[in-house]
Chain A
Amino acid sequence: MTNYTYCWAVFILIMSIRFGYGQNVVRYDLTVTDTIVNFSGKDKRAIAVNGQIPMPTLTFTEGDIAEIVVHNKLQEGTSLHWHGVYLPNKEDGVPFLTQMPIAPNSTHTYRFPIIQNGTHWYHSHSGLQEQIGMYGSLILKKRKTDPTFREGIDDLPTVPVILSEWTDIKPENVHRMLHNANDWGGIKKGTVQSYSEAIKAGHFKTKLENEWKRMLAMDVSDVYYDKFLVNGKKESQLFQFKAGDKVRLRIANGGASSYFWLSYAGGKMTVVANDGNDVEPVEVDRLIIGVSETYDVVVNIPQEDTAYEFLATPEDRTKSASLYLGNGTIQLKSRMPKLKYFEGMKMMNGMMNMDGSMDDMGMDMSFQKMDMNTVMYPEVTGSGDMEMDNQTDHANHSMKGNAELVTLNYGMLKAPHPTTLPKDAPVRELRFELTGNMNRYVWSMDNKVLSESDKILIRKGENVRITLYNGSMMRHPMHLHGHDFRVLNGQEEYAPLKNVLDIMPMETDTIEFLANAEGDWFFHCHILYHMMAGMNRVFSYEEQEPNPYLPNKAWAYKKLQKESNQLHFMAENDFASNGNDGRAMLQNTRWSFGTEWRLGYHDDHGYESETHIGRYIGKNQWFMPFVGFDWRYRKTDGIVEKNIFGQGNTKDSRAVLSLGAEYTLPLLVTLQGEVFSDGNVRFQLMREDIPISPRIRWAFMLNTDKEYMTGLKYIVTRNLGISTHYDSDMGLGFGATLNY
């Protein structure tokens, strides 16, 4: 008995040392500054922390207290989010949701206990700062005494690896261009998928059907990047490893919008953890890492005097970045062949209904098992199976083709320990359809962006089960703050824990988590430009304590909503020999404020402008009713022109209000109907961006006022085109089109 008491006393003493004043505070000071970088040959603005990009790797051990002091030397607000980390809500780093932005020239301290281990990362959650340098590795080490410590894995040398990308175009501009369906990125990548290319590839019908179904050319990624980076470099080498070594790479995808294929020249990779959670080791030839996911993989250095390439290839396969492990001649990994876009388009056609919804043809798809990539690039199927139990004839085949590649998918992830949630807890079921509109770059959930939805209330102690269906045409890495969720992937009680779920078009996945951390938690697509387009929700715990950093939560939520539904400006003008033709538009998720003009160089040609204020209706946004104002002046000595309805109009001087609507017809032709305040009626058919060849666009317009126009434009640079057009009012013209 006394012995027992004694033991207890010692135990309590030890524990109190461990967790009391004995707890280790690890402090980092991070200074955020503007900087100039040169990744591509051009000097560009970026943001550095402690003078470096990526931000410094922060390392803690489970049980530490993290104290991270942020000194903001920027001219704008900033924030840091600890991606995948369990922490008090006020430390989560989402401006206007868990704190106010860290103001310019001020200091903010994040302080939280580290109660987990694994590979994580951190990044700015303010605007588009993540794209220009604000991402870094965050390594939470397992204690040696941890009962889950895995010998042969957790004791290996580790290398933090953070993937990212760089664009010379300012991210705000990238975002604006995406919303205006600017296809400059496609031109740079060679993925315009124009009619001439379609004909060459024998896919004219495919392209026609694609446009008939009102789809614009689609790519696996949206943005053109100048460089892809591993730890901030296109290529780098780690010389410290020698033959026989095993290395654990702690990989985080800090790219703003790029998925990366990972492969290794020194043989198979063993996946040992995902999103900071251990998984049963699984050997693969390659895997795709979604935006903001993390994977831990173990690789070997097989031979002396050789370095092995660890290759990160963005999903669009335009370029790559490499890390060489070891010393000596570099063993390269073969590059991934180019995607076959028209094959992908053909498949998309098959799955797209005329009303813009998608049809999975009765296949229940989930967990990355059916990958569009295998359609768009038929991989080597080679001589079949490496498990030769059933292939007595294998030796007859030539060894030319590769053995079948093993590609990781979510179905293969298995937790080493049961992850089941408390059985007696109440269950809250939620369902979201991921929705989107590629043409206008609107991304949403259940066809609502954040600014159109309230916080979703959940209660502490509930099991929250979320079913996600991706009804959009792109894949989305959905990230939940502050919690890990179980991915119900058929591994039963060993369902893996994750905090990012990559969900491909037409897939349905179910995730669940125990609501155990009160606060307001963001749930969003981690593709930066999708997030900024409004593909977000907030889970809010009922009856939570107030957040000292955010006294007026209702006001702040409005700010947050507004941030992801901003107006985007575009303008273009054709300076032609016969006049000026142009337009300017301001648009957000639903509203459009646009004005068009045609200005001749003398009174006979006339001057006119049409202004429309409209609202896009429906999921596909094919329909837009509007109110308008038309003004024109022309000197024609009173000649009356008649439209096909017999209504007369001198056009000499006219200022009228109008009511009308625009509808996108198959082949992406816009039909516009308008009634003017003087009683006149006008219908008009128009399309301006028919991709004839990678750089040539054809435009046409005709209307019931017997006006017509046709033109060709050759795109020279992002902002400049050379054009020619014939216009029924102004005749033939040549000129230069400037666009913004």
Chain B
Amino acid sequence: MNSFLQNISTMKNSINILMAISVLLSFAAGNAQTKNFKTESVKIYGNCAMCEKTIEKAGNLNKEATVDWDKDTKMAIISYDSSVTSKGEILKRIALAGYDSDLFFAPDDTYANLPECCQYERAKKDAHNMESHDMQMAKDHSHHSAMTQDKNALSSIFENYFSVKDALVSTDGSLASEKAEILLKSVSEVEMDKLPMEVHMAWMKVLKDLKQDIGNIMATKDADKQRVYFKSLSKNMFEVIKVSKSESPVYYQFCPMADGGKGASWLSLEEVIKNPYYGSQMLSCGKTVETIK
């Protein structure tokens, strides 16, 4: 028992010693810090006061580095402890926050996500030119396909349904509502007398529900509410597309976890699962149950 007490008193002693040592050490560290501190001036691309905040926040690191950027000269004074970090590391952090320097280019997606006022003119050859060229081509292409799709009287319906679905995939309630409006319009524009007999029958059967569901989706901007109606909308669309067919294959897909475990289906133009019931949360939950060609 005595030995226990003794242990404790030795422990106390050693704690004192430890404290003394750590105080000494922190002095030594403080000295080392000032000795190794380096200051440099570097160019960092940016625009405004908002950029300044982001740049400095990204560059600063407690006890390692401080960054002071001037929005007029685009120059930053960086000072850092060269024994633990480097100019490269600081500029890399700043580039990862969206700001180019002579050492690093920011990732394109990070740059694109900067607030508009911060989208400075980049030094690098603009990769976006290339991209927008691609986009242009794609746009032309899509016009083209829109024109050729007149063959099937219901094709605009399906097309607009897919827009609603895509909006739900990205959990964009207001876009879904917009797209639902277009869908509703195209639903009322269908010239039913031009439909083949069995398609006409299937169409008539679901038309009322279809309109109601679309109307409900239109009426709200809450994606979760829209999904409730989207479930029966999808089921009815499936009934129609089953008989009307489509030029490109359409996939009827099912996720057993949707709707609180009751499961729900949807139609998609791609085999890859992009679940409209969860959006980004469970994007790939589901499987194709039927392929309609």
Contacts and interface: CB of A to CB of B under 8 A. Distances in A.
B120 to A, nearest CB: 15
A389 interface: yes
A75 interface: no
Contacts of A424: none
Q: Which of B103, B170, B284 has the most CB of A within 10 A?
A: B284
Contact of A395 (B110, B135, B170, B279): B135
Given A375-B282, A378-B279, 7 more contacts: A331-B104, A333-B107, A374-B282, A375-B285, A381-B280, A383-B170, A392-B143
Interface in A326-340: 329-335
A389 B96 contact: no
A399 B136 CA distance: 13
A395 B135 CA distance: 8
B105 A329 contact: yes
A384 B166 contact: yes
A385 B270 contact: yes
B107 A329 contact: no
Nearest to B125: A303
Contacts of B293: none
| Interface size range on A against B | 35 or more
B55 to A, nearest CB: 15
B269 interface: yes
Contacts of B33: none
Given A330-B104, A334-B96, A402 B283 contact: no
Interface in B151-184: 159, 162-163, 166, 169-171, 179
Contacts of B274: 381
User: A interface, by DSSP: helix, strand, loop or mixed?
Assistant: loop
A379 interface: yes
A389 B105 contact: no
A362 B256 contact: yes
B210 to A, nearest CB: 20
Interface string A354-379: 00000001111000011100110011
A464 interface: no
Interface string A384-403: 11111111111100011110
5 contacts: A369-B273, A375-B281, A378-B279, A381-B279, A401-B170
A306 B108 CA distance: 14
Contacts of B113: 400
A722 interface: no
B172 to A, nearest CB: 9
Interface string B1-40: 1001101100100000000000000000000000000000
A156 interface: no
Interface in B75-102: 92, 95-96, 100-102
Nearest to A577: B8
Contacts of B169: 381, 384
Nearest to A302: B127
A265 B107 contact: yes
Contact of A381 (B11, B170, B248): B170
B208 interface: no
A334 B138 contact: no
B88 to A, nearest CB: 8
Nearest to B100: A329
A364 B273 CA distance: 14
A374 B283 contact: yes
B124 A332 contact: no
B65 interface: no
Interface in A290-349: 302-304, 306, 329-335, 343, 347
Interface in A619-668: none
Nearest to A391: B142
Contacts, number: 133
B4 A332 contact: no
A382 interface: yes
A399 B96 contact: no
A265 B92 CA distance: 14
Interface of A: 265, 302-304, 306, 329-335, 343, 347, 350, 361-364, 369-371, 374-375, 378-395, 399-402, 575, 580, 601-603
Contacts of A383: 170
Q: Which of A304, A364, A380 has the most CB of B within 10 A?
A: A380
Contact of B283 (A303, A381, A386, A401): A381
Contacts of B100: 329
B194 interface: no
Nearest to B145: A389
Given A379-B280, A385-B270, A350 B257 contact: yes
B106 interface: yes
A576 to B, nearest CB: 10
B112 A392 contact: no
Contacts of A575: 7-8, 11
A418 B66 CA distance: 60
Contact of B287 (A303, A363, A390): A363
A197 to B, nearest CB: 19
Question: Which 10 pairs between the two chains have the least Cβ-Cβ distance?
Answer: A378-B280, A334-B107, A381-B170, A388-B138, A331-B105, A361-B256, A384-B166, A388-B142, A392-B142, A334-B110
B92 A332 contact: yes
Contacts of A378: 279-281, 283
Interface string B180-215: 000000000000000000000000000000000000
B63 interface: no
A391 B135 contact: no
B139 interface: yes
B170 A382 contact: yes
A576 B261 CA distance: 50
A347 B82 CA distance: 45
B60 to A, nearest CB: 18
A343 B282 CA distance: 10
Contacts of A603: 1
Contact of A402 (B1, B96, B109): B109
A378 B127 CA distance: 27
A53 B1 CA distance: 52
Contacts of A395: 135, 139
Interface string B263-278: 0000001100110000
Nearest to A362: B256
A370 B285 contact: yes
A332 B105 contact: yes
Contacts of B125: 303-304
A329 B283 contact: no
A332 B104 contact: yes
A378 B279 CA distance: 8
A400 B287 CA distance: 29
Contacts of A385: 166, 270
Interface string B111-126: 0110000000001110
A383 B163 CA distance: 11
